[in-house]
Amino acid sequence: MADAAKTPIDATSTAAWKQLSSLAETFQPDLRGWFAADSTRTERLTFDAADLHVDLSKGLVTDEVLNALLDLADETGVAARRDAMFAGEHINVTEDRAVLHTALRQPKGASVSVDGKDVVPDVHEVLDRVYAFADKVRSGEWTGVTGKRIHTVVNIGIGGSDLGPVMAYEALAPYRALPDGSGELECRFISNIDPTDAALKLQGLDPETTLFIVSSKTFGTLETLTNARLCKAWLLDQLGEGVDEKAAIEKHFVAVSTALDKVAAFGIDPANAFGFWDWVGGRYSVDSAIGTSLAVAIGPEAFADFLAGFHALDEHFRTADLADNVPVLMGLLNVWYSNFLGSETHAVLPYAQLLHRFPAYLQQLTMESNGKGVRWDGSPVTTSTGEVFWGEPGTNGQHAFYQLIHQGTRLIPADFIAFANPPYALKDGDVDVHELFLANFFAQTRALAFGKTADEVRVEGTAEAIVPARVFTGNRPTTSIMAPALTPSVLGQLIALYEHLTFVQGVIWGIDSFDQWGVELGKQLALQVAPAVGGDEEAAATQDSSTQALIRYYREKRA
């Protein structure tokens, strides 16, 4: 086999790919038949990874397909590349960087080298500083410039410096209580450069009790720096004349970045900055200091559990046989669905209201990672990559888009996620509402798998003319992911699960899942157009005619 760290293998040229193509040609999904013929199917296709209990049996997969997929993993060097990632090799080829988010959740005392340097002590040095800071804010020891304790933390960041913290803050709402029983700290998140975002998020805030965390890996992102300046101006203005500006910034602004020189240039005291490293990708950074707002909200102990959850899943991914390795199996199934059965999108449907931002978070993780058209050596891919991920919590989605999943003409594999214990146990009379909620989860996955035949519809007394409209073909693949409860650890496990299955798909496609040149392009383009929008005729003249006309329309209509 070629060196997996250097040369991508063209998956489509492997024997396993040919075998999968030929299986796909005659593939007749038959979940009813498969379950009837094999009483061990559920047991054989259900796996435990740390606290996650993952049932793949309602997937469109036979033993033959699964074996061929595992051969594909072998032939494309999934295990070797995984090991190269964990070992700190520069597998982010186009940026010539190591990919070591897994080092961020290593316990103290472990050792991981990047370019000959053990990074775990550095990781824990920063974590300890983040924890000490979080404790100070939570206890009230950290005060604003007028001596009042902090009640609101505003994270200013975008993309990877926003989506993880806001998703996890929402998901872990029950873990936010302050140690002295005085309620909880509120976090708000400003990301968009649409000034409406900052305007709305600042509404009602007391400047004396508000702390801003400017989160930016590069500290060069237009949106974040603009919003940080807006917030700085708002703070100084609201605190009023006579306030010592330097002291106010010191007490109300901290930063998280890899570019500590730029943090200082912005006016934030480097003593109030938390660093991380270029081997942490933005969309993999919620477990770095980028999670500082989360650490302040839930406290160091819960944040440490969150990291321990990631690590537990990392260990599973690193050590389990590929045939029992949940991220490997889920990644392989996604390749089967998208490359061989023609699915283009993938739904993620948490039966947990607290995970309402999880699909949005996964959109960045999966689509920014695997939305690539060339392999890591620059050669074009020869198959489709990167499915469109989307979703909403159940049961809301059931009353909206599930129709298309049940009876539409497209194949939409769906991951259902649920927890045995609810964060808030409520009863409707004698009825445990969480049980009613989970009944929906179980019923939906059953209906998607097994459908409803014309005869079953007729038995219900349906008029013949509308029988076809009420038939469900079934054979719509789902993966059920359950865990005892949505704890910080389980959330970490879930995120790591998707990180690793995204990685597996990227390896099979031979792409660099860790660069994002499309994002970089966006960062440059807006800066080029900005002068034209502001009225610079010369700059406008360099734009195409459609853009010129749109800018003209804007300038005419802007009051």
Residues forming the active site: 368, 399, 523
With beta carbons less than 8 A apart as the criterion, state whether 41 and 57 touch: yes
**C-alpha torsion 289→201→173→49, nearest 10:** -50
Check whether the bond before 395 is cis (ω within 30° of 0). yes
Sign of CA dihedral 437, 438, 441, 446: negative
Binding to ligand G6Q, residues 151-180 (CB under 6 A): 158-161
Report if residue 14 touches ligand G6Q, rule: CB under 6 A: no
Terminal-to-terminal C-alpha distance of the chain: 65
Minimum separation from the CB atom of position 98 to ligand G6Q (A): 15
Q: Applying CB under 6 A, does 413 fall inside the site for ligand G6Q?
A: no
Of 420, 421, 422, 402, residue with least CA distance to 412: 402
368 binds ligand G6Q (CB under 6 A): yes
- 357 touches ligand G6Q by CB under 6 A: no
Least distance in Å: CB of 48 to ligand G6Q?
30
The whole-angstrom separation of Cα 18 and Cα 498 is: 27
Q: Which two tokens stand for residue 300?
A: 């160091």
Binding flag, residue 513, ligand G6Q (CB under 6 A): no
What single DSSP character describes residue 432? E
519 lines the binding site for ligand G6Q (CB under 6 A): yes
433 or 525: CB nearest ligand G6Q: 525
By CB under 6 A, the residues from 177 to 216 that bind ligand G6Q are 216
Q: Which stretch binds ligand G6Q (CB under 6 A): 66-74, 278-286, 326-334, 477-485?
A: 278-286
Does the protein bind ligand G6Q through residue 217 (CB under 6 A)? yes
> How far, in Å, are 157, 280, 302 from residue 161 at the CA level?
5, 11, 20
For ligand G6Q, the closer CB: 55 or 223: 223
**Closest approach of ligand G6Q to the CB of residue 435, in Å:** 39
Which residue type is seen at 489? S
Q: Which two structure tokens, joined as six digits, stand for 214? A: 């400017």
The torsion defined by the Cα of 395, 398, 401 and 405, in degrees rounded to 10, comes to: 120
Length of the chain: 559
Among the listed residues 8, 59, 207, 281, the single contact to ligand G6Q using CB under 6 A: 281
Of 14, 224, 325, 479, which lies in the binding site for ligand G6Q, with binding defined by CB under 6 A? 224
Q: Residue from 41, 251, 283, 372 that binds ligand G6Q (CB under 6 A)? A: 283
Between 56 and 163, whose beta carbon lies closer to ligand G6Q?
163
Cβ atoms of residues 254 and 133 within 8 Å: yes
Residues that bind ligand G6Q (CB under 6 A): 158-161, 216-218, 221, 224, 281-283, 368, 516, 519
